[in-house]
Structure 1
């Protein structure tokens, strides 16, 4: 199934996947759990923390600003918080690695504290836009100097007395919303944020769990207004983080497209604002069932059962994009094996992720034999009707973990092996990805 040369790895068809597995802790929730625990006054215990490099970047930055974060085991951590308002100026630049979430959310956290910090990142992150967060944060009193392109490296001088605002977002972005909510923690008065379309609400749920005074009101047309009262005194918590649905997505699509497969993924987060991909896959005829549904620390969780299915093409409307924004690379793989032509639009945000995911996925799909049409904000993919694709190509991961994992899954149902030029980026979110695939093939 696999052959490895340095960081290069090849994936080929080797029969159905079966058995049970788990995926790493939800990356989005892990970032927020660390930050809110660092703002609490006392010790929090976090179980199931994502082991990926992105979350490690957040932990290192919080340590540099005064929080004490220590491992109890491989995925359990203790965080001794500094309390709201207690951040210290770090002695050196904060390295965000490849994590856009770390950079943007920490900008918000720092913006309302009287500290100064410089944020840096790797070459990929240093091409990603930061002005969408920096602009609103300047309106509360923060001073932010980015590169001429509006990217990292970036220096932020937080406001000694931040000003509460009503932020009306023109683009739906959970990261921008979350950065503003984190800034609101140490801002006296009520901060309000209106988003045009409801985006993932992990921040709102976790803020409530830590004791913040937060209210959410539905707006006409599907948007929401969130109001947070600061300065907020957060209470330490014990938190169990569910498995990441974005990681589960790769295994689910593998089971759907590889004939004879049947797997169970335990303890997956099922936040309704993260279920867009699974809703789409089920609309395509995918046999996906959620069992043992339950609530864990304010988040819905379930066990996911997935069986091989004959997929039908589908169109993804722009209003569905926020609920599956991170899962489009693996959706494109599912579409490549479906019957008919799947179309997407409203995906301009994908051009400024870890890579230009529209262009990278189009190029890779063509290389393995799929028929693809690329436009400015989406793709049209003509599926194989369930038949294997030719494969036999080497795919440029573009140092993007989701590109690498998506084409690894594609290789499992191609006539010839698909080689990924580097699987190193996968460490940012799913360090055990290859091992998990091997175990599901040997079960």
Structure 2
């Protein structure tokens, strides 16, 4: 209902809330049960945006109701789309048509969401309106020039803080130009921002990525009726071409579970002896499945069952069994785009494995919600693990047993750092404390309840 939607949106605060919410994770016995992965965050963002541009009413089942996605829903309302949630948890978006966005009356606060901010900047760049974007302290530190540069080539104008950072203003073009753009670094967010801006441009826009990145935008654009061509080139690069000025038509979207979120109960089940956990409805897009490929190489007992497809996305159920020893592996840089968000939780598995796990090509981790590479290395060392941190590499020297633990981890406003070390606390000798669990709500509301329901021993400090 409309009132319920307004209540959900009202939970989003403009800036970081205080006080902090500490969390303690203690050693667990066998984890048992079946859970459903929360909706994929990347797909949820895109469903709201494209539904807001489509003609007619789009019904979205399984939308992730985390803070990041709710901020995107509020932004689409500010752009003129109708966004509401019914009593059954289905979200309904009535779109304004390609080129029909209205100028927002207020500043768009994207909280902690780099995906939401960068993709919406792409939408706004193709409309002759002015939008103002801000976010929390973490988002305001993160680089936006990688997005503003190609969008400026298409005709948009930006005013930013020094270093191309938020808060920023974007005035879109009344005559956006199609471009051919070679990404200097593989980035699904930059690719997607360009494709979204290209919806209002005449002709064809092509983005060339040095190596394939997650293709949720391409899949969903096709699902709504756009023409998107993909060419894999001999040098390993991929060219994605969008035919501009389509008429997008409303479509039902069933959001699969987020493999980045499923990673946490999966790794927990692998590490806690005697565990057997089924994780239902996990998105199995091959460009997002690098973590599970790596875990299988490490010797993990993971079965992929009930393979199917939803809204153009492959989906599976995962059956994960613990107790089987893991061994260290080398994770090549070429795999990084398919698992860039999963390296923190992989590092926890590596700390418990036998032998060295070498992770390469991690420069992008430096500019996530926090410097994730540095945060993981510092946190593991504080817990007693042996690690080597390089500018773009992380080596974890596994000792075939969990590290001692006992540390207090600074989450740095980063949900994945908080959840990763909460998982490590389930197997470490001494409890692991997280200074602030509140950022977890950006991507995985219900994380603590889900894990405790499986048998974890995670306690949040009383408010």
Tell me if TM exceeds 0.5.
yes
- The residue aligned with 2:418 is 404
| Residues 1:392 and 1:282: Cα distance change in structure 2 (over 3 Å) | same
Matches of 2:32 and 2:235 in 1, distance apart? 42
Structure 1 residue 378: Cα displacement = 1.5
Q: Which runs of 5+ in 2 are unaligned?
A: 1-18, 457-463
- The residue aligned with 2:348 is 333
Q: 2:366 aligns with which of 342, 346, 351?
A: 351
RMSD of aligned Cα (Å) = 1.2
- The residue aligned with 1:253 is 267
Structure 1 residue 346: Cα displacement = 1.1
Aligned to 1:390, the other structure's residue is in SS state coil
- The residue aligned with 1:151 is 165
- The residue aligned with 1:68 is 82
What is the correspondence of 1:36-435 to structure 2 with a 5 Å cutoff? 36-73=50-87, 75-308=89-322, 309-385=324-400, 387-435=401-449
Matches of 1:227 and 1:374 in 2, distance apart? 38
- The residue aligned with 2:32 is 18
Deviations 1:279-307 (A, max 9, x none): 00000000111100001110000100111
Matches of 1:29 and 1:157 in 2, distance apart? 26
Q: Does 1:436 align with 2:453?
A: no
Aligned to 2:354, the other structure's residue is in SS state coil
Contact kept? 1:329, 1:403, Cα under 8 Å? yes
Aligned to 1:247, the other structure's residue is in SS state helix
Contact kept? 2:28, 2:272, Cα under 8 Å? no
Matches of 1:89 and 1:248 in 2, distance apart? 37
Structure 1 residue 366: Cα displacement = 0.7
Structure 1 residue 74: Cα displacement = 6.3
What is the TM-score normalised by the length of structure 1?
0.97
Structure 1 residue 73: Cα displacement = 3.5
- The residue aligned with 1:31 is 45
Matches of 1:315 and 1:94 in 2, distance apart? 41
Aligned to 1:205, the other structure's residue is in SS state helix
Q: Which runs of 5+ in 1 are unaligned?
A: none
Matches of 1:222 and 1:151 in 2, distance apart? 31
Matches of 2:303 and 2:60 in 1, distance apart? 28
How many correspondences in the alignment? 438
Structure 1 residue 433: Cα displacement = 0.3
Deviations 1:222-245 (A, max 9, x none): 221111111010010111001100
